[in-house]
Amino acid sequence: MKPASRVFALTLLLLLLFAGPAAAGTGGALFGGYWEGFIEFWKSVFQKQNGVVMAVLGVGAIALFIITRGKWQK
């Protein structure tokens, strides 16, 4: 990854990370009630057993992708 694209990716990540507190004011400045509904939906998904199982399978798939992707660079 080129240095400019790393800076862009880091900036985008930080923007998404810190946009939540900015939207938490009165009425949500950025997306209104979208974030509250989004969080409530995913909370209800992960409270069920299949949600937890799917999350673990997703993390495992991402981990396998990262592990196998790095093998060709050695």
pLDDT band at 39 (very low <50, low <70, confident <90, very high): confident
> What contacts 34, CB < 8 A, 6 or more positions away?
28
Task: Give the pLDDT confidence of 13-34 residue by residue, as tens digits.
Answer: 888 777 766 555 555 555 667 8
Helices (H), the chain: 3-23, 34-47, 49-69
Domain extents for the chain? 1-30, 33-74
Return the residue matching tokens 């974030």.
Answer: 35
Return the residue matching tokens 């009425």.
Answer: 27
pLDDT band at 62 (very low <50, low <70, confident <90, very high): very high
CA distance 43 to 9: 27
